[in-house]
Chains A and B, each alone.
Chain A
């Protein structure tokens, strides 16, 4: 049987401040390409790999280059700012971006298939866990762009609805590693926990500096002021280093420690294919899923036309490393299985909680947020004389 040849763009910033996660994403995607090639089938996929190096202008330029060369499907992007930068390109050329990362929601482009977690699959389960088991006073830190702004907003509203409050929010530029003032403010405020939306090198530096500062004040950071994230993954634990790796909470749809035949096979194949790392992550799995679903949709569609492939991917099901994954035909986001994990000294996550079955994506939080925005409480009294 003749195989249809199809070139697929693969666009991850394998250099730059968040390159560790992006390299694991590239690995996840390449592993899927390899398995698809080995399995045969009617569609032969050829990955065309590009690296924007974390530069937004490069994301746009490379997207136009790929789409202009006739490529209709690109698996890529990690940050929301890069995704939003390239969406107009995909709309102009009517291509499909297969976006394989968790994100803050409130988007549903006809030219994007979202295989990472929507906010009801990461931040809301985390709020539930923290409010019921850790505390209700939060200090939020994040990288200064839309992911942290919006994820903090959702977090703040959900926590406030449970009677909690956000003491403060602090934002730093992507790649910034100067945390003295922020950490000093956290230690002065003594929140029940820190909600972290820092990414890349900023996050790793924060985890190290915060652990050291707590230690300096005689605090057991992991127990006294734990840090909770929706981004933290295994390759990042390795970057944080042994002194500060354990005791961090993470809300994710995938941990590489999951005990299932599908995950065992995935982890084994990944480690064999990429012995030099970085190790797999939730975003690597989402990239793997994206390529697998793309291949299945291409096979079913019999063409690489974006509209036809988009229609074909609706209701596609895959037994992924995290469990069953399928694409919701209304939102083109994925049904995924939320989990809460805690990092251990071995660089893995111990799974503390998990949903019984995959959860429907709710990118606009239509099913899981109040009708009216919760009014933030401002202080009744204010300091007029210090």
Chain B
């Protein structure tokens, strides 16, 4: 899988969570040149008023001022550590605690305050593309994890074929792989379905006796 690189940010929306201090004008005008509009969520009782559910990953980017403690409460996926949309940290006080808070929000890029116009494109480019890269890597990990779990079904299907059809291990594996390719399924999923199909018909005399399933897996029959 090759991660796509986003290079044109037209139509994007930046949600800038900060106390209005004046420097954000540079950020806003530079973002506008890049086709990105800016909005400033209101901060009430120290919390930015953001409707997290309405955020769109294809459109929105969160700029979070690291000097505002706890202003943003977004749910970061505990496994992927990914926020719902790309987060770019605005760094004023360069203290470990504040940087850590931004990292915990899932920030993939940073901008120093006061913002320098020449740094915005790089930060946006890195922030969004690192987010996309991490999302792709997480999706790959999920896929690999699923397939890892499915390897047990492959082993069972190979053993089953060896016993039923008198094939050796290589031959049984090759047959399963060939069939999975024919029906355009990955091998693990095909083997799971293969086992389900074989496990279903209890009405065929003698069928179950030839299927050697171990332990608790028998309840699937």
B117 near A108 (CB under 8 angstroms)?
Answer: yes
A372 near B10 (CB under 8 angstroms)?
Answer: no
B6 near A366 (CB under 8 angstroms)?
Answer: no
A370 near B33 (CB under 8 angstroms)?
Answer: no
Q: Which residues of B3-22 have CB atoms within 8 Å of chain A's CB atoms?
A: 4-10
B9 near A375 (CB under 8 angstroms)?
Answer: no
B35 interface contact, C-beta 8 A: yes
A160 interface contact, C-beta 8 A: no
A110 interface contact, C-beta 8 A: yes
A372 near B117 (CB under 8 angstroms)?
Answer: no
A179 interface contact, C-beta 8 A: no
B30 interface contact, C-beta 8 A: yes
What string of 1s and 0s marks CB contacts (under 8 Å) between A94-133 and chain B? 0000000000001111100000000000000000000000
Q: A160 to nearest B CB, angstroms? A: 13
A108 near B8 (CB under 8 angstroms)?
Answer: no
B4, B35, B121: the one contacting A106 at CB < 8 Å is: B121
Q: Which residues of A347-386 have CB atoms within 8 Å of chain B's CB atoms?
A: 363-367, 369-373, 375
User: Quick one: which of A109, A330, A366, A370 has the most chain B CB within 10 A?
Assistant: A366
Residues of the B chain whose Cβ atoms lie less than 8 Å from the Cβ of A371: 6-8, 10
Chain B interface residue number, banded: 10 to 19
With A372-B4, A372-B7 already in contact, the answer to whether A364 and B117 are too (CB < 8 A) is no
> Bound state CA distance, A341 and B90, in angstroms?
47
A366 near B5 (CB under 8 angstroms)?
Answer: no
A108 near B6 (CB under 8 angstroms)?
Answer: no
A109 near B118 (CB under 8 angstroms)?
Answer: yes
With A364-B121, A371-B10 already in contact, the answer to whether A108 and B33 are too (CB < 8 A) is yes
Q: A377 to nearest B CB, angstroms? A: 12
Q: Which residues of A326-348 have CB atoms within 8 Å of chain B's CB atoms?
A: 330-331
B35 near A364 (CB under 8 angstroms)?
Answer: yes
* B positions within 8 Å CB-CB of A: 2, 4-10, 26, 29-30, 32-35, 117-118, 121
Known: A109-B118, A366-B33; 11 extra A-B contacts, CB below 8 A, are A110-B117, A364-B33, A364-B35, A367-B10, A367-B35, A369-B7, A370-B7, A370-B8, A372-B4, A372-B7, A375-B2
